[in-house]
A and B are shown apart, each in its own frame.
Chain A
Amino acid sequence: MELVFAWMPLAAAGLVVTVVVVLVALRKRADRGERGILSAAHTERLLALPEYRGAYRRALVKLGGMVLLVLVALGALSVVAARPITTDIADTDRVNRDIVLCLDVSGSMTAADAAIVGRFLELVEQFHGERIALVVWDSSAAQVFPLNDDYDYVEEKLASVQDEVSSDVGDVGDLFGGDPDGDPPIWAGTDLGNGSSLIGDGLASCVLRFDNPDLERSRTIILATDNALAGDPIVTLEEATSFALEREVRVYGITPSGMFGPDEDDLRDQLRRTGGEVFGVDDTGAGQNIVDEVLDDQATTLEGVPELVVIDHPGWPFRIAVLALWGVLFLAWRARI
């Protein structure tokens, strides 16, 4: 905690001293004038009354209390005016990364999605400051949440997706196209295309999620799919990969357990073109691998400038000042001034 204008309390003290000096000087001058004085005899008939002493003491307490509270309020406000702050050095290199989680929710992936979203959650825990989005796709893509760095929100959303995809297939809620709480199912809007699991379309849609194409940022897609194409995509996986390459997006793959053969080889070949890699969801440390790749590999390409973050803390002195001023008003009312 430090003060930006540390001289402010001193200035307030100087102001108080000046005011007191001026008042005393004015009073002295007023004392010299005879015009403002009314001489009265036998004032002891009032001043010697015991009630007078009581009233005098009461007035003194009220006045003293008011002066004290005004000084407290002034002191507290001078602290507010001095701007108490804390400073922090923020790393900007991390916030330069955008990550789109790209989840295949086609029927063939149903059994694997819960584990994959679990992986996503592990990944998210490792990131600090990166912007993260989630897109689900089947024959068309739908965005669950856009790029943002509100990790509480991201984790809450991912947890709710995990909860939903873990439900048994054939749930009553699923049959009627929604879960019991009334929200639309997570895959709502992912069946508008021609076929199922149109991987090229899904990847291309995820590439389109990145905003600010002009900014120099690290862009990563984590694509979870079994590459089991069934239908007629608008773009093929190869075309989508080329599009990602063109947009300087690195794509990592997560594949469900038990997947091997030409689909996985094809996926690995394509994603390696972008500098990415494919991991199995069951690989121990698959998430850590992705995180390391994302952070280590791309940190070198970014030039983060440490930024000084200044946070104001006017809270407690301001509260004291408000309370003191209320006290002054209360005493003024009591004293009928």
Chain B
Amino acid sequence: MVALLPRVKSRLFIHANRRTTNLLEGEYAAISAGRSLDFDDLREYLPGDDVDDIDWKATARTGSPLVKRYKQTRRHDVVLAIDTGRGMAAAAEGGGPKRDLAILVAGALGYLSLRHGDAVGLVTRAGGRVRNRPPRASEAYLETLLRSVQNETRLDAAPGDPYELCSYLLRGVPSRSIVIVVADDVEPAPDIDEALRSLRERHELLWITIGDLDLVRGDGSDREILDVLDGSPVPSVLREDPRLARVYRRRTDDRIAAQHAYFRSRGVSHCRVATADEVVPELLRLLQRRRRNGY
């Protein structure tokens, strides 16, 4: 089996350019608001660092911007809550499973967390049973977590329910953590409002939606599209019906807009990822938006 984390890293460092990665690191640092008063050392300023942290005297001496680093009072826990239901084994826009995108998102954020000195844990819900792996700060552990996501998300897995995962997170993650939900492309459900708001108050909450395959355009191959749950086919003849395609496109656009609006109105940092190339820029945009606007 090919290791998953190196692939994530290569996408972070090679496919995305160096500057983006630095930006990502800086923006990630801004997630954890708490810092101690014990000065640790100075380091180069990275975009996304708080301007208040800049040591102006040191900056004046060296000629390049330096920021003060403080010893963290405590290590942050990052909880990856990932939907491993059958829906995540279905195709994303490129035709590959959505699971691969979820692994990419979780790997990228997990790796940034490790670089920042945080510990990464994983909560999944498979076959009606919640599995909670406690946070640890180790790359090998992160690799194990990614692998279990890969193994759990199968075409014969039970259907996932990200909202049920949320209600577990309320009970199962006691200390304040950074909670990153990687969820299926679900409809916003009003009855989850309460859980979502509590979750947001107790933790730093990031919600990443993995987008579904466009059923009209398909993945460009002539493969027959079947529903992942009940196996009902999407006849290819009907996908060529222009009227149907137009209506579907409009409905999809409306749905995605409603999805964004839903999370935004509840103050949850949300982004939507549909292809592997989108992952790094979308995450960066999400973190920037979060620092500047608070969601």
Query: A residues within 8 Å of B by Cβ?
Result: 35-47, 49, 51-52, 54-56, 58-59, 335-337
8 contacts between A and B (CB under 8 A): A38-B95, A38-B224, A39-B228, A43-B215, A46-B215, A46-B216, A51-B247, A54-B244
Residues of B within 8 A of A47 (CB): 227, 232, 234
A49 touches B251 (CB 8 A): yes
Query: B residues within 8 Å of A by Cβ?
Result: 86-91, 95, 98, 155, 184-185, 212-213, 215-216, 218-219, 221, 223-229, 232, 234-235, 237-238, 240-241, 243-244, 247-248, 251-252, 255
Shortest 9 CB-CB contacts between residues of A and residues of B: A41-B90, A41-B87, A38-B223, A43-B227, A39-B228, A55-B241, A46-B215, A51-B247, A55-B244
Residues of B within 8 A of A56 (CB): 235, 238
Residues of B within 8 A of A52 (CB): 238, 244
A51 touches B255 (CB 8 A): no
A40 touches B227 (CB 8 A): yes
In the complex, A221 Cα to B234 Cα: how many Å? 86
Residues of B within 8 A of A40 (CB): 90-91, 212-213, 215, 225-228, 234
A45 touches B215 (CB 8 A): yes
Closest to B210 in A: A41
Q: Which of B91, B98, B229, B255 contacts A45 (CB 8 A)?
A: B255
Given contacts A41-B90, A59-B235, 17 further A-B contacts (CB under 8 A): A35-B223, A36-B223, A37-B223, A38-B223, A39-B89, A41-B86, A41-B98, A41-B185, A42-B87, A43-B226, A45-B248, A45-B255, A49-B248, A51-B248, A55-B238, A55-B241, A58-B241
Nearest chain B CB to A218 CB, angstrom units = 73
Residues of B within 8 A of A337 (CB): 237
B232 touches A38 (CB 8 A): no
| A38-B91, A38-B95 known; A43+B234 contact, CB < 8 A | yes
Residues of B within 8 A of A49 (CB): 244, 247-248, 251
B218 touches A38 (CB 8 A): yes
Residues of B within 8 A of A59 (CB): 235, 237-238, 241
Nearest chain B CB to A326 CB, angstrom units = 22
In the complex, A260 Cα to B180 Cα: how many Å? 136
Residues of A within 8 A of B237 (CB): 59, 335, 337
Task: With a 10 A CB-CB cut-off, give which of A44, A52, A55 has the most chain B CB atoms.
Answer: A55
Closest to B246 in A: A51
In the complex, A47 Cα to B232 Cα: how many Å? 9
Residues of A within 8 A of B90 (CB): 39-41
Residues of A within 8 A of B184 (CB): 41
A51 touches B243 (CB 8 A): yes
Closest to B95 in A: A38
Nearest chain A CB to B90 CB, angstrom units = 4
Nearest chain A CB to B240 CB, angstrom units = 6
In the complex, A43 Cα to B252 Cα: how many Å? 12
Task: With a 10 A CB-CB cut-off, give which of B95, B98, B238, B243 has the most chain A CB atoms.
Answer: B238
